[in-house]
Structure 1
């Protein structure tokens, strides 16, 4: 059967069970890989079409008033679908609607074999940024003339399917064999497509030159891009002239390049700091082009001295940008041959050996795991890095991935045939041979606090997004433990009867369940789980009671309680400590029993070393839990550390999160990093408060005698591009007028949205305020005119919310925490940035409290030294969301009058570029905004 019918429907809603109806059908018929026929009709649903659907599809009530009903077209549709595969982009949706209609008419439901192009795309294009039809076809360069109309969607789905069919016919034999094995657990009937390919390869000697195979896996050959090491004779100044000056390479290779004096100045400062073995703090405002500005001297210095330079970023987004955009451009701009490598922690890289082992084991897996295995099989034929961040796995796929990451391998034997095929080892080797190694703050700190074992040796480093270094270092020096993680670790091991780790071992090695080594396992395991639950419930109750009279919830919507073992001395707290101590004993007993069981299995002839590694991993995990419980509840709190508990007041009665962090990381950073390295360049768009670097220097432990500081202003014309507006008639939140204040915020959002036609980003400092505003806006906003998107409420990642915001013409995006930085929305997509409150941390936040008291003990002013600088830097990050290019224009609307009225307000205003400020009634500001636009 080589007939395929591609179906796409437009409907009045998502659920046929809730009486939603089909309003348009589009069918495309494929035979012998050619589109041979099409069918399209509007249908009268005999019910009104919701405005949202009309907006999306362009189909209105009047369009379907004289259209046929489904009843009139049903037999034709059934006839066209006869003896064929049914294809749709999300088959359950389209087939569900058609079969519901057929059933209602007493006709037979369609039971044809199906192919879901969403599922197939996830398998064949695992690196696609999205699997929605529009974004997928854009990624694959398939033209889509009329999105959200049935026939057009059916046509592009047909083209997508034909492209995927071609891709299946390029897959190597090993990959197809594994996919055939997994196919029966998928939603799509792919056996005939895979069988055809398998059969063609089984009788062919043809092998792909770009593939390697080992252990039943096919994976892409890694090409070694070695670089010849030439002597560098060009002085740095001339090298810069060749890049930056009028006839330089910047002008040749960059479209519309505008010379930015700050960019060259930054390159020169970095090179001088390298030569004088100084550290440097460089604030480079938006538009400076700082990535290029630091890469140019880094590459010159590394190539000249033949000593590598480390570049560390906070976000993977910036790492990708450096590798995919900046490095290819620099290779055109500079005449020096150079090598760049990316190195991340072991948990990011897949272990081929572990994956091959998992594929070979005959375990019952859920759908997500089957899909994950299929995605990885295809991805291995394309990836050069083995870095799992390249693909988007389904949610429980990440739990499976943990079992097959390099982190789960233990210490690998260099003589093992898998060693030379290890992606992590290849990444390390590449880093060893590179002039410049790009990494992240997390690995930089892990390396720093573990005697420099993870990154190849270096003397000079550039830390971008440096305002995050203190926070990352603190987290690495601290620890975290929560109920879900602890229970998950225990559940992975399981009881003797369960089909988890211990149960699988018993079955695999046919061990008698009544064996003396195991007779007490279930009892001990059950007690440990029960004790864990009891401990976390008791902690929850303890914190809840402490906070009963204090209704203030912090920024993240959790109750937070700071504790100090030396000061907690109530009977209830002593109970918590006793329970924690008891839990460590039970966890130790489990480790002891696992150790004995391992010794017993080692005597068996067919004992598998993978199982040995897995038992050791389990024992290490349990030991890590003991260490964390002891550090949190049994060991005294050092003066330089803060411990706190967070509970979700409305969550489960064991929803408890435990933390410990240093209050001051500056001494560690000074001793473990700055004192050991010749030159560290720290850069970011937000390092200063009122042009002073003293705050960041103190927090990071940078001693001023060996530090160069420089502030590079933005080349943008802020005074012409931005208006800063502050209303003078908002209720004062200080007097408990929270609801009145939120009401005023929402009124201003609605008024400004009319002026700017949506295109608004509203930044909140608390989820609670965001939620209340969202609820109020949802009741009052014209949903036909505006798309309202809210972080934590609308589903999807930060990148997905941003994409949705840019997709709809008139949208309003409400964001908190992570939206204050790192979100680029250039051009007309964003015309108005609203900052609801100045971003001060809640004064009762445990870390802030501890850092404040630490500063007070040292005779310092905690507000001026900690609270205000943090808020100013955060404010600058928020402000920086609006203007991303020299042609952007927009309004920054700050609802918090403290920026004008409070004595410290000038610190905020003096820390951003010089812009016109208007402090007036909301009405006057709206009128001014209208005129200005």
Structure 2
């Protein structure tokens, strides 16, 4: 019978070789899928436990002072672990720490088989939303009573192990067989277990009806969904009365549904606009319930008129939320009547053809992350209906591997490919053709517009949610981006194709292309790095930005750039000639396809370098970004149209019957003019409407503005940062953390983070900072929510789209009014163009942009009628400047207190 010793240690620190010691041991024994024994003991480390560890674990010096030393319990631990798999969550840590403790006592280390439940979970639970023990406990509905206590953590790990084994043992034989090939490069010793599970499958005659095996790969069997052809009856007004009214349909399908006049008003407006075939801008303030308010008329109109309606959100996360939360609700309102599909860009979907090619290769050359990615994808294919990578948490090198195996990498799909009818992207496209509602994102919508509507099914009616982002997204798609890493990745990928280079010239060509790429991007790096410090601007992740205007460069620099760019283009064209010849002679269809894909990529890079460095186009804003602390060729080239409005009007609005732009932030002081201009729309041709929030902001929010902060224009930045850090810390003590601090400058964020770290005790608050703490925006938000007393510092991407509802957020600090830096590449170029037209760049560009971002920051705080909180604006311009009223008049009416910081803190304390 196989025995598993599941171990967890609590320790004074992470490094036993530097004197850190064990303070608690928990061991749980698992046999035959059940927990049969457990052991726990404090351990006296004969040294003080750091306050941070005591705070985290609850273990104090007092509790361990009479506990046995490690020497006294070493034999008990060994006895429990002997003749058993050693299992832990992050096994290298627990096993390494324990073995170091054994060695220090002159005892032999443990050398048996090991299992890491982190690795196990990544493989067998690929759709888990995280791999911390607490996240996996939540995912598998395991009760975790005392996190960061050894026995509780070991017990939860043991229960997790049992669940993962149950799941693994149910996998198809073919999946287990592929995992067996990858096993030798895994951290866990899974060979005997995989063998046993495969042996059981050999004699299992029951067929799994939910799985199909094709070309040796097990896939989830997808049933064709029935087609609905119901038309809706009655008027929309009657429908709304029976849906929103008291005891209406929404109350029967939604828990805690509160009828809101604003929601019904918005629905009526959208239906009317669709019916009149007009465009509209609708600002729906927080609390309107805009998602349901636009979905209901969209579905009703689509069914009534037999039209397809497109819904576009800013992020793929918002897309997923619509499909997982709102659409199932509406399916209960419209039973068996409509189809909705979520569609993303091709790079989101797995190419089964490319994956088959990769899985058939020997894993000998793969690094650990690629092995792990292959393993988890094999398991995921037995579960996924979509093939969408957003269901997964890929390891870092797995992201690069995904580039090789997604539908984008496959190029133009081949109808003769054996995988064609099972391709995830083709399936979602086929489903979209039959759907009434298409849910997409701004990036794919803009890519579709750019590609003359070749990517999405035809539609004439659209809702654009979070519409204040549409013009920025369109600018990126009507512009271009090329960077050093992507070009080198493309060239390295060419090496991986194992093309049969015949002559010495051909062999040298690839090397020369890499060298030319390196020389060009290194020179561009030098140009940006050698700017004066006063002229440098930074983006929200700390990259240095530089406007690329060739007229401002000296003749020698211009010539050298042109020379380096031309040499690279020349070599790339030679490569194209070589690849074209290979296509003509290549007999293997798979290799031919790879070559054609590579030719297209190289042609695109040639075009991009030409546009950016050689062609002169005054309608484009061009800029370069570099990693200030990164490699000397970490360079990114960007360009965008000077004006996106006319392009959007011509290519989008003029070709659609009705487009509704909606967001909580479309106006400045009640005017839609800025967003109308950015979208190329004329106020005379569109409907505009503001739907006010049903929330009682005057009771829920206090807006505080300190009158005695240093003036950043005249005082030193250090004084200003010291004062705001003090204000943040003192307010956090009143709100128990739960604070989001929004910056316009990444440099100021870093300095504030360092100052807060200096004078806050780690026992008081966990300080999480974008770009400093590791992880994506979503990961930082989750970490923030998982700590009781946390302060989250964020830059531009945190001003919008981050919902932290309820008691998780009690205060928002806006450090500076969110004006773009005057020398920001895109902003400065557009401002100069407005000047040339005789317009006022401040009133027409800087101020409306800042007000809309200010509204987004303000809107982070109140997400429900029960939320309460404080907005602290550390910028006296809000009260002193002539334009301050534009900000305060653009948000809901709230009490504003303008006073010395210590009085504001007293006021906040009383109010809370």
Q: TM-score range by the shorter chain?
A: over 0.9
1:856-871 → structure 2 map (5 Å cutoff): 856-871=835-850
SS in 2 for 1:735: coil
**Which residue number corresponds to residue 372 of structure 1?**
373
1:183-332 → structure 2 map (5 Å cutoff): 183-332=183-332
SS in 1 for 2:817: coil
- Checking the alignment, whether the CA contact within 8 Å between 1:828 and 1:888 is kept in structure 2 is yes
SS in 2 for 1:536: helix
1:784-803 → structure 2 map (5 Å cutoff): 784-803=763-782
Offset at 1:779? 0.8
Q: Is the alpha carbon distance of 1:734 and 1:554 closer, same or farther for their aligned partners in structure 2, counting shifts above 3 Å?
A: farther
Offset at 1:335? 5.5
**Which residue number corresponds to residue 361 of structure 1?**
361
- Checking the alignment, whether the CA contact within 8 Å between 2:537 and 2:545 is kept in structure 1 is no
Of the candidates 513, 517, 532, which is equivalent to residue 517 of structure 2?
532
Bigger CA drift: 475-484 or 873-882? 475-484
- Checking the alignment, whether the CA contact within 8 Å between 2:537 and 2:546 is kept in structure 1 is no
Q: Is the alpha carbon distance of 1:268 and 1:473 closer, same or farther for their aligned partners in structure 2, counting shifts above 3 Å?
A: same
**Residues 701-736 of structure 1, C-alpha deviation per residue, up to 9 Å, x if partnerless?**
112232111111111100001000101101111125
1:694 and 2:694 correspond: no
SS in 2 for 1:708: strand
1:633 and 2:613 correspond: yes
Distance in 1 (alpha carbons) for counterparts of 2:789 and 2:829:
44
**Residues 565-593 of structure 1, C-alpha deviation per residue, up to 9 Å, x if partnerless?**
45645212211111111111011112222
- Checking the alignment, whether the CA contact within 8 Å between 2:697 and 2:894 is kept in structure 1 is yes
Offset at 1:282? 0.6
1:638-649 → structure 2 map (5 Å cutoff): 639-649=618-628
Offset at 1:595? 2.9
**Which residue number corresponds to residue 511 of structure 1?**
none
SS in 1 for 2:76: helix
- Checking the alignment, whether the CA contact within 8 Å between 2:550 and 2:558 is kept in structure 1 is no
1:866-881 → structure 2 map (5 Å cutoff): 866-881=845-860
- Checking the alignment, whether the CA contact within 8 Å between 1:307 and 1:458 is kept in structure 2 is yes
**Which residue number corresponds to residue 44 of structure 2?**
44
Distance in 2 (alpha carbons) for counterparts of 1:201 and 1:650:
53
Offset at 1:2? 0.8
- Checking the alignment, whether the CA contact within 8 Å between 1:243 and 1:334 is kept in structure 2 is no
Offset at 1:746? 0.7
Bigger CA drift: 79-88 or 543-552? 543-552
**Which residue number corresponds to residue 395 of structure 2?**
394
**Which residue number corresponds to residue 756 of structure 1?**
735
Runs of at least 5 residues in structure 1 that lack an aligned partner in the other structure: 495-499, 507-514
Q: Is the alpha carbon distance of 1:804 and 1:187 closer, same or farther for their aligned partners in structure 2, counting shifts above 3 Å?
A: same
- Checking the alignment, whether the CA contact within 8 Å between 1:531 and 1:583 is kept in structure 2 is yes
Q: Aligned Cα RMSD in Å?
A: 1.6
Offset at 1:551? 5.5
- Checking the alignment, whether the CA contact within 8 Å between 2:538 and 2:745 is kept in structure 1 is no
1:417 and 2:406 correspond: no
SS in 2 for 1:209: coil
Distance in 2 (alpha carbons) for counterparts of 1:563 and 1:194:
57
**Residues 51-101 of structure 1, C-alpha deviation per residue, up to 9 Å, x if partnerless?**
111111110011110111111111111111111111111110110011111
1:71-82 → structure 2 map (5 Å cutoff): 71-82=71-82
**Which residue number corresponds to residue 473 of structure 1?**
474
1:22-171 → structure 2 map (5 Å cutoff): 22-171=22-171
Q: Is the alpha carbon distance of 1:42 and 1:431 closer, same or farther for their aligned partners in structure 2, counting shifts above 3 Å?
A: same
- Checking the alignment, whether the CA contact within 8 Å between 1:85 and 1:112 is kept in structure 2 is yes
Offset at 1:619? 2.2
1:564-713 → structure 2 map (5 Å cutoff): 564-565=549-550, 568-600=553-585, 602=586, 607-637=587-617, 639-713=618-692
- Checking the alignment, whether the CA contact within 8 Å between 2:173 and 2:198 is kept in structure 1 is yes
- Checking the alignment, whether the CA contact within 8 Å between 1:346 and 1:405 is kept in structure 2 is yes
Bigger CA drift: 787-796 or 617-626? 617-626
Offset at 1:450? 1.1
SS in 2 for 1:596: helix
**Residues 893-926 of structure 1, C-alpha deviation per residue, up to 9 Å, x if partnerless?**
0000101111111000000000000111001111
Question: Normalising by structure 1, what TM-score?
Answer: 0.96
Distance in 1 (alpha carbons) for counterparts of 2:589 and 2:782:
46
- Checking the alignment, whether the CA contact within 8 Å between 2:623 and 2:825 is kept in structure 1 is yes
Distance in 2 (alpha carbons) for counterparts of 1:554 and 1:174:
48
Q: Is the alpha carbon distance of 1:567 and 1:751 closer, same or farther for their aligned partners in structure 2, counting shifts above 3 Å?
A: closer
**Which residue number corresponds to residue 725 of structure 1?**
704
**Which residue number corresponds to residue 428 of structure 1?**
429
Distance in 1 (alpha carbons) for counterparts of 2:699 and 2:348:
45
Q: Is the alpha carbon distance of 1:797 and 1:650 closer, same or farther for their aligned partners in structure 2, counting shifts above 3 Å?
A: closer
SS in 2 for 1:344: coil
Of the candidates 506, 511, 518, which is equivalent to residue 521 of structure 1?
506
- Checking the alignment, whether the CA contact within 8 Å between 2:541 and 2:771 is kept in structure 1 is no
Distance in 2 (alpha carbons) for counterparts of 1:225 and 1:917:
55
- Checking the alignment, whether the CA contact within 8 Å between 2:703 and 2:870 is kept in structure 1 is yes
**Which residue number corresponds to residue 928 of structure 1?**
907
- Checking the alignment, whether the CA contact within 8 Å between 1:555 and 1:842 is kept in structure 2 is no
- Checking the alignment, whether the CA contact within 8 Å between 1:547 and 1:559 is kept in structure 2 is no
- Checking the alignment, whether the CA contact within 8 Å between 1:168 and 1:193 is kept in structure 2 is no
**Residues 8-44 of structure 1, C-alpha deviation per residue, up to 9 Å, x if partnerless?**
1111111222221111111111122221111110001
Distance in 2 (alpha carbons) for counterparts of 1:242 and 1:420:
43
SS in 2 for 1:675: helix
**Which residue number corresponds to residue 510 of structure 1?**
none
**Residues 158-181 of structure 1, C-alpha deviation per residue, up to 9 Å, x if partnerless?**
111111111112111111111111
**Residues 716-771 of structure 1, C-alpha deviation per residue, up to 9 Å, x if partnerless?**
10000100010110111112521111111011012111211211111111110011
Bigger CA drift: 220-229 or 119-128? 220-229
**Which residue number corresponds to residue 501 of structure 1?**
497
SS in 2 for 1:520: helix
**Residues 117-138 of structure 1, C-alpha deviation per residue, up to 9 Å, x if partnerless?**
1100001111111110111111
Distance in 1 (alpha carbons) for counterparts of 2:682 and 2:705:
39
Of the candidates 745, 748, 755, which is equivalent to residue 766 of structure 1?
745
1:484 and 2:480 correspond: no
SS in 2 for 1:854: helix
SS in 2 for 1:784: coil
Offset at 1:555? 5.5
Distance in 2 (alpha carbons) for counterparts of 1:55 and 1:764:
30
- Checking the alignment, whether the CA contact within 8 Å between 1:314 and 1:464 is kept in structure 2 is yes
Offset at 1:470? 0.4
- Checking the alignment, whether the CA contact within 8 Å between 1:556 and 1:766 is kept in structure 2 is no
**Which residue number corresponds to residue 497 of structure 1?**
none
- Checking the alignment, whether the CA contact within 8 Å between 1:872 and 1:911 is kept in structure 2 is yes
Distance in 2 (alpha carbons) for counterparts of 1:632 and 1:547:
23
SS in 1 for 2:662: strand
- Number of residue pairs matched by the alignment: 911
